[in-house]
């Protein structure tokens, strides 16, 4: 086992948005832009540092479950966070299983 910090390079959280008529200074102070940049940075960091390191479990669902458990604990020890992330796990896995079904089983015309 090597040092984890040297094995995986740091995530670059620089997000570029297309230029619009709004000046760059206004775009960088827009709360929605700041929120989106922060969300993308957290998503990339969690994906790299938690989800991919759980590859040794041998199951994508187990890695996803433990990552969502980590996120629930990270947000706080309130039951709503655990319920929210549990439902995310259930919904994502349900969508994945339904996507394999042929369309004629889902929609009857």
33 and 69 both lie in a single domain? no
Asked if 66 and 54 touch (Cβ cutoff 8 Å), the reply is yes
Q: Which long-range contacts (CB under 8 A, 24 or more apart) does 12-21 make?
A: 13/37, 13/40, 13/41, 13/44, 13/45, 15/40, 15/41
For 11, 24, 49, the CA distances from 41, given in Å and listed in that order, are 8, 20, 12
Q: What is the pLDDT of residue 20?
A: 53
Q: How far is CA 91 from the centre of its chain?
A: 14
Least confident range from 29-38, 39-48, 50-59, 60-69: namely 29-38
47 and 26 both lie in a single domain? yes
Would you tell me how many other CB atoms lie within 10 Å of the CB of residue 15?
A: 13
- The residue-averaged pLDDT of 4-12 equals 49
pLDDT range class, residue 6, cuts 50, 70, 90? very low
Q: Which of 39, 56, 73 is the last residue of a domain?
A: 56
pLDDT range class, residue 11, cuts 50, 70, 90? low
pLDDT range class, residue 3, cuts 50, 70, 90? very low
Domain of 95, in residue numbers: 58-109
Q: Which of 36, 56, 76 is the last residue of a domain?
A: 56
């Amino acid at each position: 086992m090597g040092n984890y910090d040297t094995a995986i390079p740091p995530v670059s959280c620089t997000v570029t948005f297309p230029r619009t008529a709004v000046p760059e200074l206004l775009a960088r102070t827009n709360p929605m832009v700041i929120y989106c940049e922060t969300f993308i940075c957290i998503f990339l960091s969690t994906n790299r540092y938690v989800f991919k390191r759980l590859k040794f479990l041998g199951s994508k669902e187990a890695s996803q479950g433990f990552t969502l458990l980590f996120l629930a604990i990270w947000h706080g020890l309130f039951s709503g966070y655990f319920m929210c992330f549990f439902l995310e796990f259930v919904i994502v896995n349900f969508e994945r299983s339904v996507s394999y079904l042929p369309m004629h089983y889902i929609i009857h015309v």
